[in-house]
Amino acid sequence: MKASLTVSAVQQPCNADRQTNLDYSIAQIHAAAANKADLVILPELHLGPYFCQNEDYNHFDLAQAIPGPTTAILADAAKQAGVVIVSTIFEKRAPGLYHNTAVVFDKDGSIAGKYRKMHIPDDPGFYEKYFFTPGDLGFTPIQTSIGKLGVLICWDQWYPEAARLMALAGAELLIYPTAIGWDMEDTEAEQQRQLEAWVTVQRGHAVANGLPVIACNRIGFEKAPDSDKGIQFWGNSFIAGPQGEILSRATATDDTLLTWTLDSARTERVRQIWPFLRDRRIDAYADITKRFID
């Protein structure tokens, strides 16, 4: 990784039409570049409203190929701004085969690599199993001109195995584009517990792996189709250091461009003083691949 790496997370609303959302993202990419950013993260599925609130086959029309029209636009934005971009796109891989896919664009506009979301939720308001096939690219960091990026997506952020495997494969950052929010029927206390659990588990990944973490969420209320219910996306995007310390955190409601400069030498030093990878008992972990230990 670069000795000094400036990273930005774009916290934005995504409840408008595709062009409006994309124009906003690109404007923020250029704003980040003006702040000397090397890396810009966009929220999960930032091109439009979160369509997985119901199981409607018409939503498959939103998917597109990779490479495709949106990747061409973002590749041009990466080249013009001279930044690495992480975007997520509803990928149409083949008829009947769709993924939730992160695409990483290098500073020259090339596609450095892809990551297909591995953990797919199926909860009220988050019916992703209807739309997305689980990823098949594994937990493989993406090599870019600024370093190896461990890109994961939303539901992946709850799983320590995913973060660990990215770290073991050489990731120098853990990155989580996200679309997560509250059920407005939950109590305020329950909403707060959920939010803090989300922040805490990702800070734990930073600590356990000695790596910075960037979580980039959307904001705003998005009404469910044919219902008065919906999701209030809770924002709170953040950048954490390798000891889990919060370096920068957004509010629940503001469209925000978080920016922070990371020190790779400090990350290495943290791993030296807290050598968790050294002390792993890999001889005793075989049961981790089982669904349940009877």
- Catalytic residue from among 14, 44, 91, 128: 44
* 129 noted as active-site residue: no
Residue 262 lies in a domain: yes
The number of distinct structural domains making up the chain is 1
Q: Is 117 among the catalytic positions? A: yes
* Interval 34-59: pLDDT, tens: 999 999 999 999 999 999 999 999 99
101-120 pLDDT tens trace = 999 999 999 999 999 999 99
CATH of the domain at 207: 3.60.110.10
In this structure, is residue 225 part of a structural domain?
yes
Reported as a single tens digit per residue, the pLDDT across 221-268 is 999 988 889 999 999 999 999 999 999 999 999 999 999 999 999 999
Q: Is residue 294 situated within a structural domain?
A: no
Per the domain annotation, does 232 fall within a domain? Answer: yes
Task: Give residue 266's domain range.
Answer: 4-289
Q: What's residue 24's pLDDT?
A: 97
Check residue 228 and give its pLDDT.
85
| Residue range 284-288: mean pLDDT, rounded | 96
pTM: 0.97
What string of H, E and C letters represents the secondary structure of the chain?
CCCEEEEEEEECECCCCHHHHHHHHHHHHHHHHHCCCCEEECCCCCCCCCHHHCCCHHHHHHCECCCCHHHHHHHHHHHHHCCEEEEEEEEEEECCEEEEEEEEECCCCCEEEEEECCCCCEECCEEHHHCCCCCCCCCCCEEECCEEEEECCHHHHHCHHHHHHHHHCCCCEEEEECCCEEECCCCHHHHHHHHHHHHHHHHHHHHHHCCCEEEECCEEEEECCCCCCEEEEECCCEEECCCCCEEEECCCCCCEEEEEEEEHHHHHHHHHHCCCCCCCCHHHCHHHHCCCCC
In a domain, 101, yes or no: yes
| Catalytic position from the list 107, 114, 117, 216 | 117
Annotated catalytic, 91? no
Residue 65: predicted pLDDT: 98
Q: Spot the catalytic one: 154, 172, 216, 222.
A: 154
